[in-house]
A = this chain, B = another copy of it.
């Protein structure tokens, strides 16, 4: 049987890097990084648990991609460029087919973002992945949750809701044509971290985060931390291409309170509208203006006629959602 050390060597020892910031990678008690002089380090960690964040029989290539993508998405939401990451992995068994697929999906996305695997841990246990990712950015340029200003526009990247729609398909809440389900499921299984957009928004956006638990709940964190309120034009929300074919009520529900979108939600001054659109073009990412930050606390949902809409929606919470 494959030992812990063989397993790491065979599947996770990436081709050696020429990145001068990485002084020592996998194989010692610690990895060693040489931070770029004058830059701030951004750090985020996410744990994914089988049966909770993904199906136990999930395709390992897509799973490898998703594990790193959700972490890179946190760097994007801060405006940081990736440097490196660590991976801790609990596996029920050392299955070569699964490991081959998982490492392939993981390292392909890592290569795309020049983000090196520098260390980790493997152990036997219920399938669980924990990635900690490191990025850098100039001090003072981070897109924080507490920086929204009254009068800011609220923007969102890409489209929302197709990941949630795919889940509804798996759960048989909604019957989807096989081809549609497959397309929607790509958004669920292979989210795109918006790194280039996050970096392009430095100095332009005020506050930002990535939408993982649903727009309303996540935007709520910006409002709470910034001590402001907001109005959202709910029929301006960019629904995913498959969700767009669904009735209005589902479009509203899944764009507002779907999960697993991994799009950026950010606020920026009105004076920066042209700059935001330019940042979207430069990073090849659609950006849509969806509302505005207001002094009055709370979140108001407005329809196309400017009328307040009352919806019972809740954001996903790991300990209160059944």
User: Which of A's residues lie within 8 Å of B, judged by CB?
Assistant: 1-5, 7, 23-24, 27-35, 37, 40-53, 74-75, 77-78, 80, 86-91, 93-94, 118-126, 128, 130, 132, 134-135, 139, 142, 144-146, 208-210, 225, 317-320
Interface pairs A-B: 4 shortest CB-CB: A49-B125, A130-B130, A47-B88, A30-B42
Q: Which residues of B contact A32 (CB under 8 A)?
A: 40-43, 78, 142
User: Are the CB atoms of A124 and B7 closer together than 8 Å?
Assistant: no
Complex Cα distance A93/B322, Å? 11
Give the nearest-CB partner of A34 in chain B.
B40
Interchain residue pairs with CB less than 8 A apart (30):
A1-B319, A3-B317, A4-B319, A23-B139, A24-B142, A27-B145, A27-B225, A28-B145, A29-B44, A29-B74, A29-B78, A29-B208, A29-B210, A30-B43, A30-B74, A30-B78, A32-B142, A33-B41, A33-B43, A43-B134, A44-B119, A46-B88, A46-B121, A47-B128, A48-B123, A52-B125, A93-B319, A123-B318, A125-B126, A126-B126
Q: Which residues of B contact A44 (CB under 8 A)?
A: 29-31, 86, 119
Q: Which residues of B contact A41 (CB under 8 A)?
A: 32-35, 41
User: Are the CB atoms of A30 and B80 closer together than 8 Å?
Assistant: yes
Q: Which residues of B contact A31 (CB under 8 A)?
A: 42-44
Q: Which residues of B contact A144 (CB under 8 A)?
A: 24, 28
User: Are the CB atoms of A124 and B49 closer together than 8 Å?
Assistant: yes
| A104 CB, min distance to chain B CBs, angstroms | 20
Q: Which residues of B contact A122 (CB under 8 A)?
A: 318-319
